[in-house]
Amino acid sequence: MRKQLTSRRIDPLTAAGALFIIIGGTALTTYLALIVPGRLAAQQGPPEAFLLAATEQARSVPPGTPSADDATTAPGGVRPTPTFAPTPSPIPNRTLNPTYVARTTGVAPGSGEQPAAQEEGGGITFPLPDDNEFGDWPLPDYVEVRYWLSITSIGLEAPIITLTPREREINGRTVLRLPVPNSYSVGWDGTSAEPGLAGNTVLTGHNNFYGGVFQDLQNIAYGTQIAVWSERGVFNYTVSTIEYIEETGQSLEVRLNNAHWLNETADDRVTIITCWPNDSSISHRLIVVATR
C-alpha cells in the first residue's frame, strides 16, 4: 500500500509578515551599522588640522587681548581658553517679511524691511529631507570637511560639508530648496557667507534621521556658545535668537516668507535650521541664530 504524501501550504500572510520582519531587521541593522560608528567618530572632535590652526590663532593674539576667535574646549584635549564678546540682545520685531523672492543682501531677518529680489519668480524654501550623494559619515574621501561645528552645552560635535540649493518645481513655480546631509554631518549652504566672515552663514541638519545631528538643538539656550572650527582658526558665536516656525501644511507663499531667515545680513552670524519636533510630524522649523 502506497503512503499518501501530503503537501504543506504556507499561509501567504504569514510568509509576507516573515519577509517584512527580515527586511525591516536588515534595514535597521544596516542603518545602525552606518550611523552609530559615524556618531561615535564625530565625538572625537575637530580634525587635527583645525586644532592646530586654532592653537596658532590663539598664539598670535597678544596676552590679555580679548578676542572672539580664541580657541574653545572640545573633546580630546586641552585647548586655549576663549574670551567671548558680550552676549548680543535678541533681534527685535522678529516678524516674517511680507514678501520673499530670492536670497537678498543687507536685510536682517525679522527687521521688517522689504528685501529686493535677485531672481524673478524664484525663491528659497526651508530644508526638507532630500536625497544627496554624500552618503554617511565617516564621509567618502571626495567629500571635503570644510568646517567643524561644536556646541558643547548640548554635546554636539559634527563635521560640516558644503551643499548648494537645488531647483524644485512647486505649484508650477521654480524654487530653491536647501538639501540636508543624509549623514551624521551638518550642511553649509555654499551660497551663504563663509564662517568667520561678515554675512549670514546658513547651516542645516537632520533632527531625527541619519543619526539626528541636531536632535538636541531644541535644548539650546540664549547665550549658548557655538564654535565653528576651520583651517583658519576657530570662530565663536553667541546664541541670540531661537524661533519655532510652522512649516508643514503651509502655503508656498508662507514658506517663501519663512525663508527670509536665509537672507544675507550685514553682521557676522550663523543661522542653524532643522526640523522640529523630534517625531514623525516635524511640523515646524527650529531656527537658531548666533552672532559674534
**What was the pLDDT predicted at 11?**
73
- Residue 28 within a domain: no
**What was the pLDDT predicted at 113?**
37
Who wins on pLDDT, 17 or 120?
Answer: 17
Of 116-120, 170-174, 194-198, 209-213, which range is least confident? Answer: 116-120
Helix (H) or strand (E) holding 30: helix 12-42
Residues 6+ apart with CB under 8 A from 216: 154, 155, 156
Q: Which pLDDT band, with edges at 50, 70 and 90, does 218 fall under?
A: very high
**What was the pLDDT predicted at 19?**
75
Domain that holds residue 66: 43-291
Question: How far is 67 from 237, CA to CA, in rounded Å?
Answer: 12
- Residue 25 within a domain: no
Q: Which span out of 51-65, 90-104, 155-169, 186-200 was modeled with the highest average pLDDT? A: 186-200
Q: Which pLDDT band, with edges at 50, 70 and 90, does 98 fall under?
A: very low
- Residue 23 within a domain: no
Question: How far is 165 from 153, CA to CA, in rounded Å?
Answer: 30
Average pLDDT over the chain, rounded to an integer? 74
- Residue 3 within a domain: no
- Residue 11 within a domain: no
**Start-to-end C-alpha separation, the chain:** 94
Question: How far is 261 from 110, CA to CA, in rounded Å?
Answer: 8
pLDDT tens readout for residues 176-199? 888 888 888 999 999 999 999 999
Is the pLDDT reported for residue 115 higher than 70?
no
Question: How far is 217 from 2, CA to CA, in rounded Å?
Answer: 73
**What was the pLDDT predicted at 54?**
92
Question: How far is 238 from 217, CA to CA, in rounded Å?
Answer: 14
Q: Are 165 and 149 in contact (CB under 8 A)?
A: no
Which three three-digit cell numbers place residue 221? 539656550
- Residue 100 within a domain: yes
pTM: 0.67
Q: Which span out of 3-7, 28-32, 217-221 was modeled with the highest average pLDDT? A: 217-221
- Residue 147 within a domain: yes
Which CATH number belongs to the domain containing residue 159 in this structure? 2.40.260.10
Is the pLDDT reported for residue 120 higher than 90?
no
- Residue 156 within a domain: yes
Is the pLDDT reported for residue 105 higher than 60?
no
Who wins on pLDDT, 275 or 123?
Answer: 275
* Domains in the chain, number: 1
Who wins on pLDDT, 247 or 89?
Answer: 247
Question: How far is 80 from 47, CA to CA, in rounded Å?
Answer: 16
